[in-house]
Amino acid sequence: MPNFIMSYLGSTVTPGEAGSQFWALIYVLIIFAGVSVAVICMNWIERKALAHFQIRLGPMRVGPHGLLQPFADALKLMLKEDIIPAEADQFVFWVAPLIGLLAAFTVYTVIPFGPSQAVSDMNIGILFMLGVSSLGVLGIVVSGWASNSHYPLIGALRSSAQMVSYEVAMGLAVVSAVLMTSLNASGTGTLSMIGIVQAQQQQGVWFIFKFFPLGFLAFVIFAIAMVAETNRAPFDMAEAESELTAGYHTEYSGLRWSLFMLAEYAAMIAVSSIAVTLWLGGWMRPFPNLLHAPAWDFIFSLFPGLTFGGLAAIAMIGAARMPAHSFFRIQRIGLAVFAALLAFSALLLLVIAIAGRSADTSVAARFREGIDYVYWFVLKVAVFMYLFIWYRATWPRYRFDQLMRIGWKVMLPISLGVLLLTAIVGVILP
C-alpha cells in the first residue's frame, strides 16, 4: 500500500493519462470536497466582505465572527420544507438544479492545479471546458420553464440569451490564447489545459503580457464575459432580485435552491480557474524563469506556510480583541482554537517546505512541489473571487438590452480584432 501511494507521488502525469482509475476517482473526490469547501469559504467571505463594503458587520452570531454561519445556513437549507409548485413539471423541476451542478463540477476534470495535479489532461481540454460550462445554461432554462411561472420564465430566457451571446466573445478570446501556444519552439499549438500553462512556461511569459496589449485585451474580454457567463453582478439579470424577484429560481426553496447556489459558486470558481490557466500562468509561481535558482524556489515555497501563519495571526488578534465579557468566552475560545488550527497548518507547511527544499525526487520534495502549485493556483483564483464580490458591491445592474448590445456590438468585434491581430503578430514577430 505505501508503495502504491509512493508510486503515485513519483508520477509526473495526471491519473487520467496514467490510466489509473483509482487515483482518478480519489482526485475527483478530493476536487468535489475541495470545491465544496471553497464554496463554503466563498460564501462566508462574500458576506463578510460585502458587509464591510457596506459599513455593516455581516454575520457575527454563529461562531466567532460568523465563521460557522455557512454551516448553519447549509443545515437550515437542508431542513427546510421542500416546495414544488402544484402546476410545475415535477420531474424537470427536480432535475434542473442537478444539471447546473453537474455542468459546473464536470469542468473541474480538466482544470490543472499542477502539471500532474489534475484528473485528466485531455488534449481537447479547453474545448471540453467551453462545451460543458455552456451546458449550465440548460439547468437554468429548464428550471425557468418547469416552474410554470412568469418570473422564472423571463429570468431563464434572459439567462439563455445572455449566455449564448457571451459564449461567442469568450470563445474568441480563448482562441487567441490558444493561438499563442502555437508559438512554442516546437511550433505546434495545443488545446490541453496543462499544455497551455506549459506553453507559457516555455515562452517565459504569462499570456496576459504576451503581445501587449493583445493578450491583455483578450484577458479583459474573457474576464468580463465570465461575469456574464456566471450571472453575477453587474450582469445578474437572470436573477435580478429587484425586477424578477429571484429570476429563474423564484420557485425553488430549501435544498434545491442551495444546489443552484452551489452550482453558481462552483461555476464562478471554474471560470476563474480557466482565466488563471489561460492568461495568468496557471499553477506557476511568479517569475519562474527569472528567479529560478533553488534558493528562490525555497523562498517561494515558504509562502503557503507564511500565508497560513498570517491568517493564524489575524485570528489570534481577533480572539485577543474580543470583549472581555463572559458572553464572549466561548467565541473567544472558538476563535483561539481556529487560530491554533491555522497555526498548526502553517507549521506543517513550513516543515514540508524546509524538508523538501532539495530539488530531488524524494517524497517531501514532491509534496512541496504539489503544495506550491496548488497554493499559487488557488491564490490567483482567490483574487478573481474577490473581484466578483467587489463588482457586486460597486455596480448597479445592466439592463438586458444594454447587456446584449455590449456582448454583440462591443465585445465580439474587439475579440475578433484581437484574434486577427494576434494571428498576424504571431506570424510576423517571432
Our CA dihedral for 360, 364, 368, 369, rounded to 10 degrees, sits at: 40
Q: Quick check: bond before 213 cis, omega within 30?
A: yes
Least spacing, CB of residue 131 vs other proteins, in Å: 29
Instruction: Decide if residue 386 touches other proteins (CB under 8 A).
Output: no
Instruction: Decide if residue 387 touches other proteins (CB under 8 A).
Output: no
Instruction: Decide if residue 87 touches other proteins (CB under 8 A).
Output: no
User: Site mask, other proteins, residues 242-281, x = CB under 8 A?
Assistant: xxxx------------------------------------
- Cβ distance to other proteins smaller for residue 7 or 54: 54
Contact 176, 251 (CB under 8 A): no
Contact 310, 347 (CB under 8 A): no
- Residue 194: alpha-carbon gap to chain centroid: 16
- Cβ distance to other proteins smaller for residue 104 or 154: 154
Burial 289-327 (b: 16+ CB within 10 A, else e): eeeeeeeebbebbbbbbebbbebbeebbebbeebeeeee
Q: Which stretch binds other proteins (CB under 8 A): 36-44, 261-269, 282-290, 389-397?
A: 389-397
Instruction: Decide if residue 60 touches other proteins (CB under 8 A).
Output: no
Q: Which residues contact 183 (CB under 8 A, 6 or more apart)?
A: 199, 203, 426, 430
CB neighbourhood size of 213 (10 A): 13
Contact 346, 315 (CB under 8 A): no
- Cβ distance to other proteins smaller for residue 373 or 400: 400
The residue within the footprint of other proteins, chosen from 61, 76, 150, 409 (CB under 8 A), is: 150
Q: Which residues ranging from 12 to 51 are in contact with other proteins (CB under 8 A)? A: 50
Least spacing, CB of residue 237 vs other proteins, in Å: 8
- Cβ distance to other proteins smaller for residue 111 or 244: 244
Name the 3-class secondary structure at 265.
helix
The residue within the footprint of other proteins, chosen from 107, 111, 142, 154 (CB under 8 A), is: 154
The CA distance from 19 to 362, in Å, is: 23
Place of cell 512556461: 201
Q: Which stretch binds other proteins (CB under 8 A): 11-19, 132-140, 232-240, 275-283?
A: 232-240
User: Site mask, other proteins, residues 391-430, x = CB under 8 A?
Assistant: -xxxxxxxxxxx----------------------------
Least spacing, CB of residue 56 vs other proteins, in Å: 6
The CA distance from 416 to 424, in Å, is: 12
CB neighbourhood size of 118 (10 A): 27
The CA distance from 155 to 245, in Å, is: 10
Instruction: Decide if residue 85 touches other proteins (CB under 8 A).
Output: no
The CA distance from 141 to 232, in Å, is: 17
Least spacing, CB of residue 157 vs other proteins, in Å: 8
- Cβ distance to other proteins smaller for residue 53 or 216: 53
Contact 384, 272 (CB under 8 A): yes
What do you get for the CA distance between the two ends of the chain, in Å?
50
Least spacing, CB of residue 261 vs other proteins, in Å: 18
The CA distance from 343 to 148, in Å, is: 52
The residue within the footprint of other proteins, chosen from 56, 61, 292, 409 (CB under 8 A), is: 56
Q: Which stretch binds other proteins (CB under 8 A): 23-31, 109-117, 185-193, 390-398?
A: 390-398
The residue within the footprint of other proteins, chosen from 55, 324, 427, 428 (CB under 8 A), is: 55
Instruction: Decide if residue 82 touches other proteins (CB under 8 A).
Output: no
Instruction: Decide if residue 236 touches other proteins (CB under 8 A).
Output: yes
Site residues (vs other proteins, CB under 8 A) = 50, 53-56, 150-151, 154, 158, 233-234, 236-237, 240-245, 392-402
